[in-house]
Amino acid sequence: MTTLQTAINASPASEAPLSAAAAAVSSRTWLAVIGATLGAFMAVLNIQIVNASLADIQGGIGAGIDDGGWISTSYLIAEIVVIPLSGWLAQVFSVRIYLLTNAFLFLVFSAACALAQDLPQMIVLRAIQGFTGGVLIPMAFTLIITLLPKAKQPIGLAMFAISATFAPAIGPTIGGYLTQNFGWEYIFYVNVVPGAIMIAMLFFSLEATPMKLSLLAEGDWAGIITMAVGLAALQTVLEEGNKDDWFGSPLIVRLAVIAAIALTLFLAIELTTKKPLLNLRILFRRNFGFGVLANFLLGVSLYGSVYVLPVYLSRIQGYNSEQIGMVLAWTGLPQLVLIPLVPRLMKRFDPRLVIGVGFVLFGGSNFLNIHMTNDYAADQLFWPNVIRAFGQALVFAPLSSVATAGMEAENAGSASALFNMMRNLGGAIGIAALQTLLTKREQYHSNVLSQQVTLFEQATRTRLDQLMQYFMSHGVIDRSDAVHHAYVAIGRVIQKQALILGFSDTFYLLGVSQIVALAAALMLTKPDRLDAGGAH
């Protein structure tokens, strides 16, 4: 029996406190964990790299602004659908074959995306890339909590945190640099070398085990179908809703109804069938339930802030993709310093305290950005970004460790799928909420500011006269044309100020989400109590 099979089939009742010898981990096991986490890093990184260069990709393949969003949406839909399936499919095809096959296909379709000639080709290739890349995320998490003994899991989870929190932060930096200096195609070619290393590590570290194709006949197909349809419809609603005026669009309404019906059926099926795709009952366990909630809210702010900052820097400050990447680099680089130290902090302090400090820092970094002005740019964002980086680094590994502590090996696949899927779903919901909030608050602030800028105010009349004189001195001959240009200029100022205030409001929402996450984290049981009392 292989190491992985032993871990998966182990009985929780037989677990004893690990001795120093039992806690030792072979180099082969570490090779498997490192290779898997490298794959997860690449899969998450690919999302943000592409998002940072979306405008260049659209231009390169002749896609319109509205339709170009499907380049990202197709990847995200496929990814969120395959994450819950990965645990079961790994049992069917064996961990080695399943991981190696998807890692290889991820590289193939990454390179193929760079060769896409038009939008339909790109959408199909990105969907397949997302379906294969999405496998790498939960499988890395599963290997960590099944192959590593409890004493070593914080180290593995700290490594996984690099993919979960560092990759989204550093993605725009890498994407912007590659696009500006080499062309958008290289954001896909960049996967080739680390991907080859990943495949080599997994090939030499994962032991061959027989496939169990008979499990296909016993599969929870009703759950699989309803889950896939529901998540695909929901992800599409979240990605496209704001652009299509939400429920003002018949398509969005139909997809929302489909998502609601399919996911309701999925929940009913999973809670009643004897062999469910996902064991949803583990969500009722205190630590895992509150841990998933905190992780969901972490996703809201993690992916939400990566969305808001580039949009702000582009629309307000006029930064290009490389300049945006350099600003966002400070949300990632400090994590490389702190993440390796987190396992030591978890040994020295109560992990819940580390989690709490992390959420306080992450939430506080967002609140620092709620009073933005026209001059708020790279220098002003430096310290909020650094504080955010430290907060993210402190949260993920201890939160994952506490949430999954005491989890039986047979539930590891379900735990991994739910934990990672909910973080991604939190990101999708967070971005959708931020897009809508930004639109609505910009309209609100524009109305308020417009009411204050009237001809009854002396300051307004003075400013109009100054602008009119400016335009007449710069080539506008007709006085009425100069007046028109002056009104347009004031309108643009109002619109820009309203948009800045709207961005401030989005950071306020992100900060509030982390306060709620902190409240969920405070409900976690102390790890020592959990160890004594089991998984419940």
Q: Enter the tokens of residue 528.
A: 């020592």
pLDDT score recorded for residue 268: 94
Give CA torsion, residues 92, 95, 96, 97, to 10 deg. Answer: 30
- The DSSP line for 308-340 is HHHHHHHHTT---HHHHHHHHGGGTHHHHHHGG
At 378-427, the pLDDT tens digits run 999 999 999 999 999 999 899 999 998 888 888 888 999 999 999 989 98
CA distance 169 to 157: 18
Give the total residue count for the chain.
536
Q: Enter the tokens of residue 224.
A: 């699989």
pLDDT score recorded for residue 68: 67
Residue pair 63/124 in contact (Cβ under 8 Å)? The answer is: no
* C-alpha distances out from residue 117 to 54, 59, 301, 525, Å: 15, 11, 35, 53
Which amino acid does the sequence have at 448?
Answer: V
**Cβ neighbours of residue 40 under 8 Å, at least 6 residues apart?**
136, 137, 139, 140, 141, 160, 163, 164
CA distance 405 to 54: 40
- The DSSP line for 5-16 is HHHHH--GGG--
pLDDT score recorded for residue 167: 85
pLDDT score recorded for residue 208: 87
CB-count exposure of residue 529 (10 Å: 0-12, 13-18, 19+):
exposed
The predicted model scores a pTM of 0.86
Nearest to 326 by CA among 174, 162, 166: 174
pLDDT score recorded for residue 180: 84
Stretches where the chain sits below pLDDT 70 are 1-23, 64-68, 453-461, 468, 470-471, 474, 476, 481, 483, 527-536
Measured from the Cβ of residue 482, the count of other Cβ atoms closer than 10 Å reads 20
pLDDT score recorded for residue 22: 46
List the Cα angle 316/320/326 in 5-degree steps: 100
CB-count exposure of residue 456 (10 Å: 0-12, 13-18, 19+):
exposed
CA distance 386 to 363: 13
Residue pair 277/220 in contact (Cβ under 8 Å)? The answer is: yes
Q: Enter the tokens of residue 79.
A: 């990814």
List the Cα angle 76/82/84 in 5-degree steps: 115
SS3 content of the chain, % helix, strand, coil (to 5): 80, 0, 20
Measured from the Cβ of residue 8, the count of other Cβ atoms closer than 10 Å reads 20
CA distance 69 to 72: 6
**Cβ neighbours of residue 95 under 8 Å, at least 6 residues apart?**
4, 139, 143, 206, 209
CA distance 481 to 470: 12
pLDDT score recorded for residue 64: 66
At 429-456, the pLDDT tens digits run 998 999 899 999 999 998 888 777 666 6
pLDDT score recorded for residue 461: 67
CA distance 532 to 455: 73
Give CA torsion, residues 491, 494, 499, 501, to 10 deg. Answer: -170
Signed CA dihedral, 156, 159, 161, 163: sign only? negative
| Backbone dihedral angles phi then psi of residue 317, each to the nearest 5 degrees | -100, -10
